[in-house]
Amino acid sequence: MQGTTIMWALPFEFGRYLVKITQLIALLVLLKPLLIDNIAIKKKFYIILLLMVIFLASYNSKEQDMIIYASFITAALDVDFKQIVRAYFWTELSCLIITATLYIRKIIPSSDIFRDGTVHIRYALGIISPSDFAAHIFYLMVAYMLYRGFKIERRHWIIFLAIIILTYIVSDTRLDFALMLLAFFLLVFYDKIIRVLKRLGIPFLLSVIPGFFMAFTLFTWKFNFNPNAHVWATMNHWLSGRLGLGSLAMHRYPMNFTGNFIPQIGMGEMNYSGENYFYIDSSIIRAIMMCGIIFTAIIIMYMLYLVMRAWKFKRYDVILVLILTLISSAIDQHLWEMAYSFILFAGVANINKKNLNKSK
């Protein structure tokens, strides 16, 4: 609800109540790992310590999404990951349909915007911005692929292409369109890509994650927007100004270990009238600049653990979805928003298909 214009149609006080309700739910789900699950006291102590570190980053940055997500991750211990993906898919799809219906019936406000320099309208269908709407569709598509193990009949490929094209026509979002095409490419050539991953091996995959974080951070930090530099200006344009804004944040504010509040104007592509737009879209830059170096190190180590765990159980589909999520996180802020990203649950949930089949 917080990512839709439903919030614009309700009194401001409701938003504050919704935040409190969300926080209460996060505390309730922690009862499972701390009181219900058969976990050693020592491990429970580590869980509490880790949550305290993440809470500190959340408190300092005034971003609650990461601590909410962390609470749900700890509660996902030994839960069937396939059931988590299914629950995510149907919940997400239902909420999108409800929101779009409210938008079409004009019960909630519109957040549609014009593409700069054109008369072309970018529709968001009740989501807070067109790019966020496209991101929802991207993660829904990826969730369905993962649920089916990337084993989807060829005659159904045309449906995926139609969804990709229709989403682009409606939202006119270039980056998510490219991400959806990449996901479709992985679907079509899944078997061949898996053979390539096996040849590259786990050391290569483990080097990709910290390397990607470092490369994107250094690239953004070194980027200095110059309208006279054609190459840089073109890249910044195709990334919808994300390089320039990320670079501005890294030059304007200091890095620290435990998080830092960075005031921002606008959200995604929504701007406040009469003010200069400034919003950090990249989850990677948000992690480093807002949540701190310690939190960023935790995220990287957790992803490395997830890759090793997925490799152990031969869940190459999980690894591919993590890579897609990582690429998406370089350009959007949804890495630890459960309304979008779901793959981080795979680090603790039961992804061993053999064990699940035996238990059934």
Alpha-carbon distances, residue 284 vs 15, 49, 145, 242, 333 (angstroms): 27, 23, 25, 12, 8
Residues with Cβ < 8 Å from 212, sequence gap 6 or more?
326, 330
Q: Where are the beta strands (DSSP E) in the chain?
A: 113-114, 121-122
d(CA 168, CA 178): 10
Position with higher pLDDT, 225 vs 232: 232
Handedness of CA 182, 171, 6, 17 (dihedral sign): positive
Q: Which residues partner with 265 through β-bridges?
A: 278
CA-based nearest residue to 268, from 77, 34, 111: 111
pLDDT at 223: 66
Structure confidence by residue, pLDDT tens digits, 283-313: 999 999 999 999 999 999 999 999 999 999 9
d(CA 139, CA 247): 27
pLDDT band (50, 70, 90) for residue 60: very high
Query: What average pLDDT score do residues 225-248 get?
Result: 71
Instruction: Express as a percent the part of the chain with pLDDT over 90.
Output: 67
pLDDT at 247: 81
pLDDT at 273: 46
Residue 196 sits at φ, ψ, to 5 deg, of -65, -40
pLDDT at 114: 79
pLDDT at 227: 55
Q: Is the pLDDT of residue 198 over 50?
A: yes
Q: Is the pLDDT of residue 359 over 70?
A: no
pLDDT at 159: 94
148 in the Ramachandran plot: left (φ > 0), alpha (ψ -120 to 50) or beta?
A: alpha
Q: Is the pLDDT of residue 206 over 50?
A: yes
User: What predicted TM-score, i.e. pTM, was given to this entire model?
Assistant: 0.91
pLDDT at 10: 87
d(CA 231, CA 247): 16
pLDDT at 261: 92
Q: Is the pLDDT of residue 116 over 50?
A: yes
pLDDT band (50, 70, 90) for residue 355: low
Query: What average pLDDT score do residues 46-54 get?
Result: 94
Residues with Cβ < 8 Å from 129, sequence gap 6 or more?
111, 113, 267, 268, 269, 270
